[in-house]
Amino acid sequence: MSELQLKSQRFRREREADWRRLEAIVDKAEKKSASALSDDEILAMPVLYRSALSSLSVARATSLDQGLIGYLESLAARAYFFVYGARSTPQEQLVAFFSRDWPGGVRGLWRETLIALAITVLGAAVAWWLIGTDSDWFFGFVDQALADGRDPTASRETLRATLYHDEGAEGLSAFSTWLFTHNAGVALLAFALGFAFGAPTIVLLLMNGAMLGAMLHVFFEKGLGFEFGGWLLIHGVTELFAIVLAGAAGMKIGWAVAFPGADSRLEALSRAGRTTGAAMVGVVLMLLLAGLLEGFGRQLIGSDVVRYAIAAATALLWGVYFYGPRPAKVPA
């Protein structure tokens, strides 16, 4: 009997227990999570993984048992993803994100951020100038539903009332939630559209700027510029900055598609995607904060000075957080 046993059969018999053990550990990790593994299992994992890899390479060279090779291929791939895909704990990831990834991602976008800002300002300036020549242009720039009566035909009193309305105490939080989801959607879209060489992103930024310019013109016309500034900037510093950043990220992607440089388009694209991803997560967080400021802060704080103070504080906060000097790279 024993001389009838093939070498590949003996090979399998000797190693099978190790494979089964590795399989059980991977199963457990996939079903629950990596933290469900005991210390022994975590220590055994890399050793078992390497022995499974070596088994696979031996099996490929010496065994003709398809079932065995297929099993080892699948086991090795699953274990590989686990061993090399093993992530740090959620806590560490969170710390790394706030301390390094987010500001780093935003800093990496500084050139695009300036361009996106310039485009927004350009849109605003053009809208301002056009409405100056003919106030009907306003309706071309601002959505009726969003304007909600705040157009050039409105009287100074109505406009003033919209800046300090108290009737919003009811329906206030739902409004801010809606604004947040709406803005986050727009920002994600600005980012995603960058994929098409960045052109739609630029259009989106222009439109956003034009809307801003149109609104500014309406309020300045009626001598409410200072008040409107406070109303807008209390959340606008955060929100506009977030949208500009989203546009910048979109442009970076578009640039990588259009001008990949020495890399292949695919490589350039995924590299750009990797650096902008963290910045985009941050953009969504900024919009959440902006939504809160808009929904609660603006409705509850009526004083222009306090509004401007909050606006300045947020501007300072973001500026220092993103662009402020920081200690030399800490070893990871």
Partner 1 sequence: MTAVDITPGERKRQRAMVTPEGLELRLELASVGQRLGALIIDLMIIGAITLAAIIGLLLIASAAGRSAGELVLVVFLLGMFVLRNGYFLAYEMSAKAATPGKRVLGLRVAARDGGRLRFDAVFTRNALRELELFLPMSLMLAGPFSGGGVSGWIYLLGLIWCAVFVFLPVFNADRLRAGDLVAGTWVLRAPRQKLLRDMADDGALHRTDFDFTPAQLDVYGVKELQVLEQVLRTGDRSTVRAVADRIAAKIDYARGDAPDGEFLRAYYHGVRGRLESRLLMGKRRKDKFDAA
Stretch that binds partner 1, among 2-10, 121-129, 205-213, 306-314 (CB under 8 A): 2-10
Nearer to partner 1, 124 or 288 (CB): 288
Q: How far apart are CB 320 and partner 1 at their closest, in Å?
A: 23
- Asked if 298 interacts with partner 1 (CB under 8 A), we say no
- Asked if 130 interacts with partner 1 (CB under 8 A), we say no
**Hey, which residues between 5 and 64 contact partner 1 (CB under 8 A)?**
5-9, 12, 16, 19-20, 23, 27, 29-30, 33-34, 50, 53-54, 56-57, 61-64
- Asked if 173 interacts with partner 1 (CB under 8 A), we say yes
**Hey, which residues between 74 and 113 contact partner 1 (CB under 8 A)?**
74-78, 80-82, 84-87, 93, 97, 101, 105
Nearer to partner 1, 64 or 262 (CB): 64
Residue ranges in 194-293 assigned as alpha helix (H): 199-221, 225-258, 265-292
Nearer to partner 1, 7 or 328 (CB): 7
**Hey, which residues between 221 and 260 contact partner 1 (CB under 8 A)?**
253
Residue type, 138: F
Nearer to partner 1, 179 or 311 (CB): 179
Residue with tokens 């070498």: 7
Query: Element (H or E) spanning 325, and its range?
Result: none
Rg (CA), the chain: 29
- Asked if 270 interacts with partner 1 (CB under 8 A), we say yes
Q: How far apart are CB 77 and partner 1 at their closest, in Å?
A: 5
CA–CA distance, 211 with 219 (Å, rounded to integer): 13
Q: How many CB atoms lie within 10 A of CB 180?
A: 20
Among 18, 44, 273, 309, binds partner 1 (CB under 8 A): 273
Distances (CA, A) of 26 to 48, 71, 143, 229: 11, 14, 54, 58
CA–CA distance, 251 with 118 (Å, rounded to integer): 13
Which residue in 58, 50, 49 sits closest to 12, CA to CA? 58
Q: How far apart are CB 279 and partner 1 at their closest, in Å?
A: 9
CB burial readout 196-206, b (16+ within 10 A) else e: ebbebbbebbb
Number of H helices, E strands in the chain: 15, 0
Among 110, 178, 226, 323, binds partner 1 (CB under 8 A): 178
DSSP conformation letters of 272-283: HHHHHHHHHHHH
- Asked if 191 interacts with partner 1 (CB under 8 A), we say yes
DSSP conformation letters of 6-46: -HHHHHHHHHHHHHHHHHHHHHHHHHS-GGGS-HHHHHHHH
Decide if 228 contacts 216 (C-beta within 8 A). yes
Among 124, 242, 243, 272, binds partner 1 (CB under 8 A): 272
Q: How many CB atoms lie within 10 A of CB 176?
A: 23
Stretch that binds partner 1, among 152-160, 165-173, 223-231, 300-308 (CB under 8 A): 165-173
Nearer to partner 1, 57 or 153 (CB): 57
Q: Site size for partner 1, by CB under 8 A?
A: 79
- Asked if 327 interacts with partner 1 (CB under 8 A), we say no
CA–CA distance, 39 with 185 (Å, rounded to integer): 43
Among 45, 48, 68, 242, binds partner 1 (CB under 8 A): 68
Among 145, 157, 170, 332, binds partner 1 (CB under 8 A): 170
Nearer to partner 1, 232 or 280 (CB): 280
